[in-house]
Structure 1
Amino acid sequence: MKAVLYDGAGGPEVLRLREVPAPVPAPGEVLIDVAAAGLNRADVQQRRGVYPPPPGASEVPGLEVSGRIAAVGDGVAGFGPGDEVCALLAGGGYAEQVAVPAGQVLPVPAGVDLATAAALPEVAATVFSNLFMTAAVQAGDHVLIHGGAGGIGTMAVQLVRAFGAVPMVTAGSRAKLDVARALGAEVLINYREEDFVARVREATGGHGADVILDVVGAKYLARNLEALATAGRLVVIGLQGGARAELDLGVLMRKRAAVIGTTLRARPVEEKAAIMRAVAEHVWPLVASGAVTAQVDKVFPLAEAAAAHEYFDSGDHVGKILLAVGTA
């Protein structure tokens, strides 16, 4: 089969389309004929050589796909050949086929076309697990979402709104903030022009953010802590602004706050399956009803994966970038 691999670490030029052995589903796995794959920042970090796949995972990038089941391994129930599905992966998505544990596979939500479904698994699992399963967002909470116009951000805005909390976002342009507003964001902060700490305090009457979902990391750590409410929760899921920073424990203790760092990719299969079950229960009905939608910016053919990464690196995208692989 054809798959994209990285020829060393570097820029988009290191992506190569190659012929590789097709996977065979192990017991408990399903084999998917891939229709489309989602591009995520983890793929870019892997390309740059700073985020290798976890032990045992495919070297082929790609953390989410949609497609049709081609075969099932021993012990798999509930799925069969021809079923239209989407899946959360530890790797292997930039390929014509991928084998994945059945617990990480969900039916395509009603009303969503097969290709578009590739934009859902990773962002839905990341947002729901971090904001609702870990940070326990409740109705009425003020939730600050950094990068509110990206794939994670656009899903987070919609889910926060759908569950009765107040989405507040940062983004780097008026156009991106307008997208977040259209999805339900109530507080819009241009981080290039405004101090998000001051804006959060102003918008909440001095209360602060009950929860912050952060993809920046070290660069924002101190300011995020300032922006938190008493008993607030800061969830760090990315390190775009670096990995090392000093934390004022006095402020943390005074606010009785929590700083939580999480990743999804390296979690055990059982944990991922539990997250996907929660997504199926709580998020899929919202998608099927149209209350939450997949935000797709551009679709590139698999053979143009380098161009897709170049577009991602530009920072111009809003929502998800997909790679079209097979027939949707």
Structure 2
Amino acid sequence: MHAIAIEQKRLYWRDQPALEGPATGEVRLRVAWAGVNRADLMQRAGHYPPPPGASDIPGLEVSGTVTEVGPGVDGLRPGDRVCALLAGGGYAEEVVVDTRQVLPLPEGLGLRESAALPEVFATAWLNLFMEGQLASGERVLLHAGASGVGTAAIQLCRAFGYPCFVTAGSDAKLAACRELGANGAFNRHEGSFVDAVKAWGGADVILDPVGASYLADNQHVLNADGRLVLIGLMGGRRGELDLGRMLMKRQRLIGSTLRAKPPAAKGVILNALIEHVWPRLASGEIRPLIDRSWPIDEAEAAHDHVERDANIGKVLLAVSGEG
């Protein structure tokens, strides 16, 4: 099969050994589309190796067609069109994946749109509702609001009745976030977001992919009993934590990654998406936001686009390109 290989931080679409399996509880998919995530860029740069046992091919989400089922698989059969959350391996013609990480396509959506769903909606759901434990009446601050995760999280906040404030890097991005349902917005190039978020009412849950450079300001705007959920380190990995503020305001700092969770844990998150989010996708209340797509053999151009923070929503790679 053909797949992307990383060599000296460059991406090459080339022939690679065929995948073994599927084993018990697994299925083989013919990949139609693969989603691009910042984790892929970090892996390419050598900063985010795949978990033990996972493929070293990048790619954390795909859509495609089931071509083979392993022993003990119920509910899936060859020909089914699905999307899937992966620990790696998505930039390839085929993937083999545990069925607990496989999702049906939402009613009315095709393979292209569905490739934009698994990673970002699983990440947003996990960190807002499971780690962040959002409760009635609480308010959310979303950094990188125009990213794939950000645009998913805005829509979840709107759909479930949680006001959200976003930060992003351009007025065009802020306008897109407001259109999706953000209640407040701040351009990060205009300085600190502290005064704007405080004037808005502060935040009970913060979803932060930035890390160290935002730590102090996040603490300033986090309300009493607030939760800061750290999901990335774009702004560095070492920062100063005000333990006095953390203690007196009963703040909680939560580190969260999705990729290394075992299939059973991922299955719990995806089951929640099927129950709570998939019906809203089918009705059009929530939608995948796709920025651009590239052919898989032009994956470097797609990565460059994401590296420049040029995207609003998801960037996709066409493998077979089926719709």
**Equivalent residue for 1:302?**
296
CA distance in structure 2 between the aligned counterparts of 1:313 and 1:220, rounded to whole angstroms: 19
TM-score by length of 2: 0.98
Task: Give me the TM-score of the superposition, normalised by structure 1.
Answer: 0.96
Choose the corresponding residue for 1:260, options 247, 254, 259: 254
Write the letter of the residue equivalent to 1:83: D
240-249 or 90-99: which moved more?
240-249
Distance between the aligned counterparts of 1:287 and 1:136, measured in 2? 22
How much has 1:134 moved relative to structure 2? 1.3
Q: Secondary structure at the match of 2:220?
A: helix
CA contact (8 A) 2:40 2:58 kept: yes
Deviation digits for residues 163-213 of structure 1 (CA, Å, limit 9, x no counterpart): 100011000110000000000001011111142111111011xxx201000
Please name the residue that 1:96 is paired with.
Answer: 93
Write out per-residue CA displacement over residues 13-59 of structure 1, whole angstroms, 9 at most, x where no aligned residue: x0001101222311111101001000000000000000000000001
Residue in structure 2 matched with residue 16 of structure 1 by the alignment: 12
Counterpart mapping for 1:215-234 below 5 A: 215-234=209-228
Question: In structure 1, what is the equivalent of residue 314 of structure 2?
Answer: 320
Equivalent residue runs for 1:69-88 within 5 Å: 69-88=66-85
**1:241-284 per-position Cα deviation (integer Å, ceiling 9, x unaligned):** 01111211110011111000010001112111111111111111
Report the residue type matching 1:6 in the other structure: I
Aligned counterparts of 1:322 and 1:162: Cα–Cα separation in 2:
25
RMSD of equivalent CA atoms: 0.9
Larger mean Cα displacement after TM superposition, 77-86 or 278-287: 278-287
Match of 2:176 among 179, 187, 195: 179
Give the structure 1 partner of residue 123 of structure 2: 126
SS of residue matched to 2:43? helix
* Aligned residue identity for 1:104: Q
Aligned to 1:115: 112
Q: Does 2:54 match 1:57?
A: yes
CA displacement, residues 100-127 of structure 1 (integer Å, 9 cap, x when unaligned): 0000001000111111100000001100
**How far apart in 2 are the matches of 1:108 and 1:136?**
27
Contact 1:301-1:323 at 8 Å conserved across structures: yes
- Which consecutive segments of 4 or more residues in structure 1 shift more than 4 A? none
When the two structures are aligned, how many residues end up with a matched partner?
321
Distance 1:276 1:52 in 2: 23
Instruction: Read off the aligned partner of 2:319 and give its amino acid letter.
Output: V
Shift of residue 141 of structure 1?
A: 1.4
Q: Could you say which residue in structure 2 is the equivalent of 1:43?
A: 40
SS in structure 2 opposite 1:230? strand
Q: Give the Cα separation in 2 of the matches to 1:115 and 1:195.
A: 37
1:106 aligns with 2:126: no
Contact 2:192–2:217, Cα closer than 8 Å, also in 1: no
Aligned equivalents of 1:95 and 1:139: distance in 2? Answer: 42
Deviation string, structure 1 residues 41-86 (Cα, Å, up to 9, x no partner): 0000000000000000001000000011001111111100010100
Partner secondary structure for residue 119 of structure 1: coil
Shift, 1:224, TM fit: 0.4
Judge conservation of contact 1:120–1:294 (CA < 8 Å) in 2.
Answer: yes
Q: State how far apart, in whole Å, the 1-side matches of 2:215 and 2:23 are.
A: 42
SS in 2 for 1:189: strand
> Match of 1:70, SS?
strand
Secondary structure of the residue aligned to 1:321 is strand
Q: For 1:45 and 1:159, locate their aligned partners in 2 and report how far apart those are by CA, in whole Å.
A: 26
Aligned AA (1:273):
G
CA distance in 2, matches of 1:302, 1:246: 41
> Which runs of 5 or more residues in structure 1 are unaligned?
none
Distance (whole Å) between structure 2 residues aligned to residue 172 and residue 89 of structure 1: 29
Q: Give the C-alpha shift of residue 94 in structure 1.
A: 0.3
